[in-house]
Amino acid sequence: MDRLETRELAYFLAVADELHFGRAADGLGITQPALSKTIRQLERRLGVALFERTSRAVTLTEPGHVLAHEARTALDAVSAATERTRRAGTRDPRLILAMKPGGDAGLLPAILAAYQHEPDVLQIEVVFGGDRARMVREGQADAALLYTPSDDARGLDTEMLLSEAPLAVLPASHPLAHRATLRMADLTDENLHKHDPAGDSAKGSISELMHLIALGRTVAVLPQSLTTPLREDLTTVPVTDIPPSVLQLAWPAHSTSLSVAALARAAAKAAAADNTSPSAIRSLRGTAR
């Protein structure tokens, strides 16, 4: 069987996303008959039906669901190859690290310092973005600091840097403040601030949140790094029934970049020096980009 073309995969995904041939054709800027013909040809080449078509609806078949996942991965890889190749050809190649504001648990200065002692280093450019894992998959970033399970690190290689148990942040005068541990059920009647580790945790917003907690307007469950230093009128209590926030460095699977390997080693060293991660340094093999 001939190799699938990226155009065919893009056309298929347009229909898979819209589940409507007309809307998909409009989005692609082609006619509906031309799109339908391409999908029929693709199904004949693969020997499977990708869509169930009725007069009322279009749905993906099981093979269609499989191709939708694989097609996205393949098109992301093509996009990433294009982007990284272009950046590698610039006069001043850099290693781009994606993160959220305040999303390093205080480790980034130590990581950057350790990185400068590694061989094969490039200048690091830190960029802030929303879907940082997707930035890595699409080649917009060479590596990212992610929080799992909130961030989706599937398909990426990772190095665990630290795992932070969740802490309830309460006014020091709160009735639960002197408990040794809490469960989420204990906070049912509270005005609970829901913190997303993968979302925005800039220092300004955290400072404002702490002020609201001190005023008794809310309570919060946060990773330890966001509670330090803690106001004197607040206290923290471990919450035992929700998973910890895990900070990871992530990079493309099977990377051959020596500069990315150097960053992974530096991150592991910085985390170990912070007494937060005993994990072994992952090896990356290949040639420098």
- What tokens appear for 10 in the block? 């893009």
36 and 98 in a single domain? The answer is no
217 neighbors 119 (Cβ within 8 angstroms): no
Last residue of some domain: 50, 84, 118?
84
Amino acid at 198: A
CA distance 85 to 137: 14
Residue with the larger pLDDT of the pair 201 and 242: 242
What share of the chain has pLDDT > 90, as a percent? 60
In the chain, the number of structural domains is 3
pLDDT > 80? residue 80: no
Residue with tokens 């599937």: 154
CA distance 245 to 196: 10
CA distance 176 to 222: 16
Q: What are phi and psi of 84, to 5 degrees?
A: -70, -35
What confidence score (pLDDT) does residue 219 get?
95
Q: Is the pTM of this model over 0.75?
A: no
Task: Report the pLDDT averaged over residues 98-123.
Answer: 91
List the CATH number of the domain containing 137.
3.40.190.10
What confidence score (pLDDT) does residue 254 get?
83
Task: Report the pLDDT averaged over residues 53-69.
Answer: 93
What radius of gyration do the chain's Cα atoms show?
Answer: 24
73 and 117 in a single domain? The answer is no
Range of the domain at 210: 166-238
Asked, for residue 279, whether it belongs to a domain, the answer is no
Task: Report the pLDDT averaged over residues 210-228.
Answer: 91
Residue 197 — pLDDT band, cuts 50, 70, 90? Answer: low
CA distance 217 to 234: 13
Residue 150 — pLDDT band, cuts 50, 70, 90? Answer: confident
